[in-house]
């Protein structure tokens, strides 16, 4: 079982209605992305962290570790927006390198910061949903929203085969380590190539066996998964409406002054 699944099934918010969490995460994500405000992104980022860590019981170290993964990619992409190499310095910051300047202006810097915080806040919304709601429950919500059955089937099969690939790769890697296949850089590269080819062949074989097993159990094109349907709680729904409504009013006030 992958780490996110372990954290999800141990979350204190695991047994809250999946539709509530899905609606809350998606509405907050939509408001954050459409508005692209530093203030709104900071509020969403802070609240999602509080809910995921303190209400959900996810260890802070784990949460910060998962947040640093997209942060690295975001920093690399936003640095190109924030900083420029020009012959003429800009108004916020400039470092001279001969006749060239590493420089940035107020607009470029705050635009990059806005993109960074908006993306992080959006990721935190998705992490909140991922760390508190199992995949079968999310797929059940999508089914109730009349999402195409083919798409749901593909998502479920892809989710299932993630574990098949991890299990197969783990077994092959253990076998290679027992034979000193990763004792140095050269052998590690060779072992990695062999791992990729063997993983492809074995995964295809296992997928065929899995499909044969499904056919033997009268598979008719629909995978039926048992899911626990938790009742809606008026207090939680009211809090979701209150927060997203307040956030939307704050967005309208900042943009239109109403």
Per-residue pLDDT tens over the stretch 172-208:
888 878 877 777 778 888 888 888 888 888 878 877 8
Residue 235, in any domain of the structure: yes
251 shares a domain with 130: yes
Residue 143, in any domain of the structure: no
Residue 193, Cα to own-chain centre: how many angstroms? 28
129 shares a domain with 208: no
Residue 37, in any domain of the structure: yes
**Cα–Cα dist 176/199, whole Å:** 13
123 shares a domain with 10: yes
60 shares a domain with 182: no
Helix and strand element counts for the chain (H, E)? 9, 3
92 shares a domain with 211: no
Residue 174, in any domain of the structure: yes
60 shares a domain with 38: yes
Closest CA to 211 of 162, 137, 161, 138: 161
* Domain that residue 153 falls in: 148-216
Residue 32, in any domain of the structure: yes
Residue 118, in any domain of the structure: yes
CB atoms within 10 A of CB 130: 20
**Strand 100-104 vs strand 84-86: parallel, antiparallel, or unpaired?**
antiparallel
Residue 88, in any domain of the structure: yes
Q: What is the pLDDT of residue 24?
A: 92
- For the record, the structure tokens of 141 come out as 């919500």
97 shares a domain with 70: yes
Read off the pTM: 0.80
87-111 burial, b if ≥16 CB within 10 A, otherwise e? Answer: eebbeebeeeeeeebebbbeebbee
- For the record, the structure tokens of 191 come out as 């072992």
94 shares a domain with 54: yes
Residue 113, in any domain of the structure: yes
In the chain, the number of structural domains is 2
Along the 258 residues of the chain, how does pLDDT read in single tens digits? 577 788 888 888 888 888 889 999 999 999 888 887 888 888 999 999 999 998 888 888 888 888 888 888 888 888 877 777 777 777 777 777 777 777 777 787 788 888 888 999 999 999 999 898 888 888 888 888 888 888 888 888 888 788 778 777 888 888 878 877 777 778 888 888 888 888 888 878 877 887 788 778 777 767 777 667 777 888 888 988 898 888 888 888 877 754
43 shares a domain with 77: yes
30 shares a domain with 130: yes
109 shares a domain with 22: yes
24 shares a domain with 50: yes
């Amino acid at each position: 079982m992958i780490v996110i699944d372990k954290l999800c099934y141990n979350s204190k918010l695991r047994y809250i209605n999946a539709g509530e969490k899905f609606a809350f995460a998606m509405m907050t994500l939509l408001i954050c992305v459409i508005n692209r405000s530093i203030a709104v992104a900071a509020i969403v980022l802070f609240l999602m962290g509080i809910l995921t860590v303190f209400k959900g019981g996810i260890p802070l170290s784990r949460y910060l570790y998962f947040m640093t993964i997209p942060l690295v990619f975001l920093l690399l992409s936003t640095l190109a927006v924030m900083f420029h190499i020009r012959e003429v310095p800009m108004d916020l910051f400039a470092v001279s390198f001969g006749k060239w300047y590493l420089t940035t202006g107020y607009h470029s810097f705050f635009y990059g910061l806005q993109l960074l915080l908006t993306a992080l806040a959006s990721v935190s919304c998705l992490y909140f949903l991922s760390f508190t709601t199992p995949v079968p429950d999310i797929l059940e919500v999508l089914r109730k929203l009349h999402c195409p059955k083919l798409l749901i089937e593909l998502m479920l099969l892809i989710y299932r085969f993630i574990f098949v690939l991890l299990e197969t790769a783990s077994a092959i890697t253990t076998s290679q380590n027992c034979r000193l296949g990763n004792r140095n850089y050269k052998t590690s590269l060779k072992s990695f190539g062999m791992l990729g080819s063997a993983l492809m062949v074995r995964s295809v074989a296992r997928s065929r066996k899995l499909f044969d097993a499904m056919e033997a159990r009268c598979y008719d094109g629909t995978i039926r998964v048992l899911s626990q349907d938790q009742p809606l709680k008026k207090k939680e729904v009211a809090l979701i409406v209150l927060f997203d409504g307040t956030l939307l009013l704050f967005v309208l006030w900042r943009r239109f002054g109403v």
